[in-house]
């Protein structure tokens, strides 16, 4: 079986690591061709098992451009010869439209689209033109996957997708792998030293994650508290600049992308988000499985994801002062961190283990490909 993946970007992030995990689980009997709308944004490829056959063509029709008929036909022709097409987020939506317009004419395989959230330009308000575009483009898709209840509501009520097309599949992980405490030197270019405490996060370094806000929220913590941000992306220099401005560059660390979060998250003492927009961030599930308390704005499904004991540390969206207070309260109370961490771990094991997620994707992809099972 040969699957075509069309990504808005394949830089390190939650949706990319989930896609990589599914590719690994499907095993060497399934081949993959992977295209990023942002050329060379393929950082998450390092998370794919090298034994899996994955092609990264450089001559694929660009996913970005004006949606004119000739270009859409070229995109549709580029999707021929596969058994299943998987598209991801707004950056691949032109391909979804091309499939809707020319799919029957070219006998294209089934297409499943995934929407995991929005970039900075739609973080506060969805664009009407894009809502219409999605509504039209998704009309002939075999399925629309969303990870959060908020996105499910948008898909049904704003994009007017029929209930049978929309599939809510919450992100899951192998929770057992997060129970082991990593070694202090598990990360590149940084070692957790005796007496240090870490506020940590995993995120693509993009504007919508608003990581300078997290730097500011940690500025008044005691000197032994470090901020560790795992991920890569275009906002690296903006984060560094904010740390320098606040005189805390020596306490802000950017080790880069970590292919296996289970080898790193357990080094954190507090997990924090600062995003303007999220849906169902898999990094929160990873933090919960590692037994950490979570401080975050109330974005997407985060408040409903964490254990009840943790919910008072989920603050209002864009409430920077509230986020700083939440982090400080957790930093000053080790017993509270431990109590919340245990409750989060129990909830992650009970609700977000990956077995359910993998089974749901297997069934949907097989159905879209017209197969009894994915193999």
> How many whole angstroms separate alpha carbon 155 and alpha carbon 229?
32
The answer to whether 67 and 100 are in contact (CB under 8 A) is no
29-34 CB contacts, 8 Å cutoff, 24+ apart: 29/1, 29/375, 30/1, 30/2, 30/3, 30/374, 30/375, 31/1, 31/2, 31/3, 31/55, 32/2, 32/3, 32/4, 32/5, 33/2, 33/3, 33/4, 33/5, 33/57, 33/82, 34/5, 34/7, 34/10
The answer to whether 251 and 227 are in contact (CB under 8 A) is yes
Q: What is the pLDDT of residue 46?
A: 92
Domains and CATH numbers, the chain: 2-172+354-369 (3.40.50.2000), 175-351 (3.40.50.2000)
> How many whole angstroms separate alpha carbon 54 and alpha carbon 4?
10
CA-based nearest residue to 88, from 136, 37, 135, 126: 37
> How many whole angstroms separate alpha carbon 329 and alpha carbon 151?
31
pLDDT one digit per residue (tens) for the chain, 375 residues:
999 999 999 987 888 989 999 999 999 999 999 999 998 889 899 999 999 999 999 999 999 999 999 999 999 999 999 999 999 999 999 999 999 999 999 999 999 999 998 877 787 789 999 999 999 999 999 999 999 999 999 999 999 999 999 999 999 999 999 998 899 999 988 999 999 999 999 998 999 999 999 999 999 999 999 999 999 999 999 999 999 999 999 999 999 988 889 999 999 999 999 999 898 899 999 999 999 999 999 999 999 999 999 999 999 999 999 999 999 999 999 999 999 999 999 999 999 999 999 999 999 999 999 998 886
DSSP 327-364: HHHHHT-HHHHHHHHHHHHHHHHHH-BHHHHHHHHHHH
> How many whole angstroms separate alpha carbon 213 and alpha carbon 276?
10
The answer to whether 33 and 109 are in contact (CB under 8 A) is no
Q: What is the pLDDT of residue 236?
A: 96
CA-based nearest residue to 269, from 200, 340, 208: 200
Neighbours of 175 (CB within 10 A): 22
The number of C-alpha atoms within 13 Å of 25 and in the hemisphere containing its C-beta is 17
The number of C-alpha atoms within 13 Å of 13 and in the hemisphere containing its C-beta is 24
> How many whole angstroms separate alpha carbon 305 and alpha carbon 274?
16
144-148 CB contacts, 8 Å cutoff, 24+ apart: 144/112, 144/113, 144/114, 144/115, 145/112, 145/113, 145/114, 145/115, 145/169, 145/361, 145/364, 146/114, 146/115, 146/116, 146/279, 147/116, 147/171, 147/279, 147/280, 148/279, 148/280, 148/300, 148/301
Q: What is the pLDDT of residue 298?
A: 96
Rounded to two decimals, what is the model's pTM?
0.79
Q: What is the pLDDT of residue 125?
A: 85
Q: What is the pLDDT of residue 40?
A: 87
How deeply is 373 buried, as exposed, middle or buried, from its count of CB atoms within 10 A (0-12, 13-18, 19+)? exposed
Q: What is the pLDDT of residue 122?
A: 80
Q: What is the pLDDT of residue 65?
A: 94
Q: What is the pLDDT of residue 375?
A: 65
> How many whole angstroms separate alpha carbon 203 and alpha carbon 333?
26
């Amino acid at each position: 079986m040969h699957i075509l993946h069309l990504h808005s970007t394949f830089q390190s992030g939650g949706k990319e690591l989930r896609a990589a995990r599914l590719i690994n689980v499907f095993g060497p009997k399934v081949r993959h061709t992977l295209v990023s709308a942002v050329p060379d944004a393929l950082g998450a490829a390092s998370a794919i098992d090298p034994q899996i056959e994955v092609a990264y063509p450089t001559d694929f029709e660009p996913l970005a451009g004006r949606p004119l008929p000739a270009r859409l036909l070229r995109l549709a022709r580029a999707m021929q010869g596969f058994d299943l097409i998987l598209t991801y987020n707004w950056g691949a939506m032109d391909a979804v439209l091309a499939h809707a317009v020319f799919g029957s004419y070219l006998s294209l395989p089934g297409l499943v689209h995934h929407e995991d959230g929005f970039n900075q330009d739609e973080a506060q308000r969805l664009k009407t033109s894009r809502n219409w575009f999605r509504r039209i483009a998704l009309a002939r898709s075999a399925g629309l996957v969303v990870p959060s209840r908020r996105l499910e509501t948008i898909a049904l009520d704003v994009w007017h997708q029929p209930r049978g097309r929309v599939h809510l599949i919450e992100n899951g992980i192998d929770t057992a792998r997060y129970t082991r405490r990593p070694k202090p030197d598990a990360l590149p270019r940084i070692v957790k030293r005796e007496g240090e405490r870490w506020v940590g996060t995993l995120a693509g370094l993009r504007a919508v994650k608003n990581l300078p806000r997290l730097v500011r929220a940690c500025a008044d913590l005691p000197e032994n508290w470090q901020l560790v941000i795992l991920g890569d992306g275009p906002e690296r220099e903006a984060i560094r600049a904010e740390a320098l401005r606040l005189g805390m560059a020596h306490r802000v660390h950017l080790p880069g992308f970590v292919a296996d979060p289970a080898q790193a998250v357990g080094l954190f003492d507090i997990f924090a988000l600062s995003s303007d927009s999220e849906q169902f961030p898999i990094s929160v599930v990873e933090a919960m499985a590692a037994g950490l308390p979570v401080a975050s704005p109330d974005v997407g499904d985060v408040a409903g994801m964490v254990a009840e004991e943790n919910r008072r540390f989920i603050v209002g969206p864009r409430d920077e002062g509230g986020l700083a207070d939440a982090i400080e309260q957790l930093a000053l109370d080790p017993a509270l961190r431990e109590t919340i961490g245990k409750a989060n771990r129990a909830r992650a094991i009970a609700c977000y283990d990956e077995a359910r997620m993998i089974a749901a994707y297997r069934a949907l992809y097989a159905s879209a490909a017209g197969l009894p099972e994915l193999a």
